[in-house]
Amino acid sequence: MPLDGIADRSMSRKAMKAELLDAETELRLAYAWRDQRDEEALHRLINAYMRLAISVASKFRRYGAPMNDLIQEAGLGLMRAADKFDPDRGVRFSTYAVWWIRAGVQDYVMRNWSMVRTGSTSSQKSLFFNMKRVAAKLEREAAARGERLDGHQLRAQIAHEVGVPLGDVEMMEGRLAGSDYSLNATQSNEDEGREWIDALEDDASQAAEIVEEAHDAETLHHWLQVALQALTARERYIVSERKLRDEPRTLESLGEELRLSKERVRQLEAVALNKMRKSLDGQSAEVRAFFV
């Protein structure tokens, strides 16, 4: 963390020493990048407004993200702005870039605020960054009128104020009220307290299921070996190559090897599978499915 602080200050000092662009120079650089892909012009434009990116990034420190990471995301937003900026619109680059910088930092904060993704729709973003401020404002206004808002009234007014569905407000309130906990945390303060991960259901097969599956697999293997004995050597080879390999052979490749047409290989395969069906008539549906 101390190293992060040193890097922050160094980056800020470097940004503060960058040149200040007047409107004419800024426009000339923007045209040079847009029309000629002049990287030197882009470099000057980015460096000149890096102080703006750092200023926007610093407003999001309260969300707990490392300042270096916030500045990186702000810098990426600045580069996106430079790439999409149209100097013909008559707008200053700084005015245009602020939106892209803020959007990039907001996306980063929402992605990393919790181990569980909060979401990135426009309503969720608006709630995430404004809900507490709007709630405080509404409670102050209600107190000034001598009123007290209960939870439901407050959530309903937040939804109206921000312009989002009430359900989104209720969902975000729960997300912001919770915290991420390690599954290795103990369920009690006792030395031998069980970890939360121990309470999760094990999705792996249980011992009885493993034995049953092994028995079924052995039986299936035996039935298939019996069925294969009813085939000629060539039919057995075709079925093995087409049905029993991890990566089944194509009709074309088998035809080339056996010097047969693709259609003839298909016919031999169909005859072989039909023989096997008849030899296993009455066995389980799992075995019969092999011949589909």
Q: Does the residue 197 lie in any domain?
A: no
- Domain co-membership, 45 together with 74: yes
Domain extent for 284:
207-289
Q: Does the residue 223 lie in any domain?
A: yes
The whole-angstrom separation of Cα 28 and Cα 87 is 9
- Domain co-membership, 29 together with 64: yes
- Domain co-membership, 54 together with 134: no
Which CATH number do you get for residue 225?
1.10.10.10
Check the CA dihedral 132-134-138-141 and report its sign. positive
- Domain co-membership, 252 together with 169: no
pLDDT of residue 116: 42
Q: Which of 112, 135, 163 is the last residue of a domain?
A: 112
pLDDT of residue 1: 38
Residue 2 has pLDDT above 70, yes or no: no
The whole-angstrom separation of Cα 46 and Cα 82 is 8
Residue 29 has pLDDT above 90, yes or no: yes
The pLDDT > 70 percentage for the chain reads 70
Tens-digit pLDDT profile for residues 79-119:
999 999 999 988 899 889 999 998 888 888 877 765 444 45
Q: Which of 92, 112, 132 is the last residue of a domain?
A: 112
pTM: 0.44
| Contact criterion met (CB below 8 Å) for 39 and 74 | no
> What's the domain count of the chain?
3
Q: Which of 112, 144, 163 is the last residue of a domain?
A: 112
- Domain co-membership, 143 together with 60: no
Helices (H), the chain: 2-16, 23-36, 39-48, 50-58, 67-84, 93-112, 122-144, 151-162, 166-177, 207-228, 233-243, 251-258, 262-279, 285-289
CA atoms within 13 Å, Cβ hemisphere of 31:
9
Measured CA to CA in angstroms, residue 14 lies from 17, 73, 125, 195, 248 at distances of 5, 17, 32, 48, 62
Q: Does the residue 221 lie in any domain?
A: yes
- Mean pLDDT to the nearest integer, 138-157: 85
Tens-digit pLDDT profile for residues 68-84:
888 889 999 999 999 99
pLDDT of residue 186: 60
| Amino acid identity at 24 | E
